[in-house]
Amino acid sequence: MKTISHVYDSYGQAKAVVEDLEANGVSHKDITLVANRYVSKAYEDATDATAATTGAGVGAIAGGGAGLLAGLGLLAIPGLGPVVAAGWAAAAAVGAMAGAAGGVAIGGLVDILTTAGESEETAHVYTEAVRRGGTLVSARVADEDAERVRSIFARHNPIDPESRGREYRSGGWKNFDPDADPYRMSQAEIDRIRVRGHL
C-alpha cells in the first residue's frame, strides 16, 4: 500500500482530482481532502452564482450525495484555523486533537504526512500551503496502482514542494508553526489563485 499526497493552489483543482480519482476506481474511503476554509467558501460562493442560473444546489457544488466530497466537515485546527476536511487523514487529525493539547495536535497533520511517506520538509511545506490557501489531497492505493494514480494527480497541476518551499523561505518562513495565527490571505493572493486555477 502506498499513500500519494499533493497540494493544489485552488480548491477547484483539488475537487476535480477527488472526482477523477473516484471515477478511476479509488474508493472515497481511501482519499482524504483538507482545504483552507476561506478558500473553499470563496469557491462555493463563486460557483453558487452559476448554480443559481442552472438550478444546481450547494450540495451539487460540494460534490453531491455520494463519495468523499459529500462527507466534508469543518474542523478548527491550531495554526490553520478553520479547515474543510474529509477522509482518513481528517479522522486521524480529529483523533490527534482529542488526545493532545494545543499545537501538538496538528503536529498531527505533519506527522500524518511523514508517516505516510513524505519527507519532513515536504510535510511542512504542504501543511503551510494549506494554511496559505491550498488544498491537500491524499490517496491510499495498492502498490500496483501507484503509478496510474500518480498520473491522475499530475494532470491537475499540483504545487512543486521544493520550489514552493524556496518561495516561502525567501519570505523568512522556516517550518509550519502550529502556534502561529491562522493565515489571512490578501485580495492579491486570492486573485493569484484565481489566475493559477479557479476558486
DSSP assignment of 137-187: EEEEE-GGGHHHHHHHHHTT----HHHHHHHHHTTT--S--TTSPPP---H
pLDDT band for 88, please (50, 70, 90 cuts). Answer: confident
Q: Which three cell numbers stand for residue 64?
A: 453531491
- Rounded to 10 degrees, what is the CA torsion of 23, 42, 129, 14? 10
Higher local confidence (pLDDT), 60 or 171: 171
Neighbouring residues of 190: CB distance < 8 A, sequence distance ≥ 6? 39, 42, 133, 199
As a whole number of angstroms, the distance between CA 17 and CA 198 comes to 13
- Residue 197 pLDDT more than 70? no
* 158: phi then psi, degrees, rounded to nearest 5: -70, 165
Closest by CA to 188, choosing from 132, 131, 128, 126, is: 132
Integer angstrom CA distances of residue 6 from 9, 37, 96, 122, 144: 10, 18, 21, 10, 19
pLDDT band at residue 87 using 50, 70 and 90 as cut-offs: confident
C-alpha neighbours within 13 Å on the C-beta side of residue 100 = 17
- pLDDT over threshold 70, residue 127: yes
Domain extent at residue 29: 2-196
Q: How many domains is the chain partitioned into structurally?
A: 1
Report the mean per-residue pLDDT for the chain. 77
Over residues 83-103, mean pLDDT: 62
pLDDT at 32: 92
